[in-house]
Homo-oligomer: A and B are copies of this chain.
Amino acid sequence: MYVIITYDVGEKRVHKVCKKLREYLTWTQNSVFEGSIGKGKLTRCMHELDGIIHADEDSIYLYQVNNPNHIQKKVYGQEKSFDDLFL
């Protein structure tokens, strides 16, 4: 399946959440990751994120499409890569 994950978490947890998501998905943009992932891996990823976030303050949105052909992506302006962050 194909997923998009966006997060809005407390400053102290941004790095941990980002690092965890990089293990499973591709960084798209500030607070957004996406990619193809199997059901088992996704469950593990979300379980691990659940252990990092503070449920009363943070939020993570998971958008899930079973067939990657059902979602189209268009980029307006710059398509950024993770490496650009460190230039």
Q: Are A57 and B76 within 8 A (Cβ)?
A: no
Q: Are A76 and B63 within 8 A (Cβ)?
A: no
Q: Are B77 and A71 within 8 A (Cβ)?
A: no
The size of the chain A interface, using a CB distance under 8 A, is 39
| CB within 8 Å for A76 and B49 given contacts A29-B8, A29-B59, A70-B70 | yes
Number of copies: 2
Q: Mark A35-49, 1 if CB is under 8 A from B, else 0.
A: 000000000001001
Q: How far is the CA of A38 from the CA of B72 in the complex (A)?
A: 15
Q: B8, B9, B65, B75: which contacts A70 (Cβ < 8 A)?
A: B65
A30: chain B residues at CB < 8 Å are 8, 31
Closest to A67 in B: B70
The 3 closest A-B pairs by CB, nearest first: A60-B76, A70-B70, A59-B77
